[in-house]
Amino acid sequence: MKFEVTILGSSSSTPIFNRNPSAQLLNVNEKYILIDCGEATQNQLLNFGLKANRIDQIFISHLHGDHYLGLVGLLSSLHLNGRTKPMDIFGPAELKEIIDLQFKHSQTTLRYPINFKPTADNNRYRIFESYDVVVDSFPLDHRIPCTGFLFTEKQRLRKMIKSKIEDLSIPSDMIALIKKGQNFTDKKGKVHSAEELTTEADQPKTYAYCSDTICSWKYLEYISNVDMLYHEATFMNDMLERAEETFHTTALQAGKIALKANVKKLLVGHFSARYRELEPILEEAKSVFPETLLAVEGQTFQI
């Protein structure tokens, strides 16, 4: 089971120092989910050898340009490259108006349908579910309506003990049934319980994405105990006043949030253009929460 995230963009507001605005690609068992879509997202997909046509869901956190201005370009390229399968897009209700308006005035009719599903920023909602993953949105605390996203693996079936398959000559068409709890009767008539033939499945992994937010502690309940938390860390703490003025978070605050939420790992990003070097940001967050990583573009993180 694959559950990993690749960073496509980690800059705030503007591209600078070879960093691009926000975008991430979540790989869930070889199914692609795009989280935010700043400028140059499709270029980054090309740069890192990731096929855009494998993306079937796009989640947009809010309508500041550094989180969605690459979206229409990406959708247009998929159209020109012959995509026909539907695309699910989740984001603020006004985003549909923006998409429709741009395609209207370019006289473009996409070859594929868009299933647009508006998000709400006033509570936690289950907004998507597939065989592999469930996705909840939850409110963040930014200057405009903004949502975070919680991605949770579906609980897998129990694992077969390979040696039992060989020793008991278990036919392949029985394996799925045994994983679901059905007992198996061998050639001698002895009944073997499903629990005897299997082991517990891995616990589902969780990934929380917090794009833009002031450190208000309001959303702690939604991110508690996740395996990996992505949290913005736009400024260092000597810029706390600026962070509060713009409804952003400092690296020190991000570390405190991760500590209070009892997460396993913290991934910080959305770096201000004022910082050429990112190591000081990392060290500031790690001073509170040692299990902190930088959201460096092109890197893939196992959740």
| Confidence (pLDDT) at 185 | 87
Q: Are 223 and 211 in contact (CB under 8 A)?
A: no
Q: Which residues are catalytic?
A: 66
Per-residue pLDDT tens over the stretch 254-302: 999 999 999 999 999 999 999 999 999 999 999 999 999 999 999 999 9
pLDDT on residue 26: 98
Domain with CATH 3.60.15.10 in the chain: 3-156+202-302
Both ends of the chain: CA-CA distance in Å? 11
CB 88 within 8 A of CB 58: yes
For residue 201, the model assigns a pLDDT of 78
Pick the CATH number of 3-156+202-302 from 3.20.20.140, 3.40.50.10310, 3.60.15.10, 1.10.10.10: 3.60.15.10
The pLDDT assigned to 155 comes to 84
pLDDT of amino acid 175: 85
CA-derived radius of gyration, the chain: 22
Spatial CB neighbours of 265, under 8 Å, sequence gap ≥ 6: 227, 228, 229, 291, 292, 293, 301
pLDDT computed for residue 196 by the predictor? 83
Per-residue confidence (pLDDT) for residue 166, from 0 to 100? 82
Say what percent of the chain tops pLDDT 70.
Answer: 100
Q: What is the mean pLDDT of each run of 10 residues along the chain (303 residues)?
A: 95 93 97 97 97 98 98 98 97 98 96 97 95 97 97 87 85 84 86 84 92 96 98 98 97 98 98 96 98 98 97
> Alpha-carbon distance 102 to 109, whole Å?
11
**Residue type at 89 in one-letter notation:** I
pLDDT at 181: 84
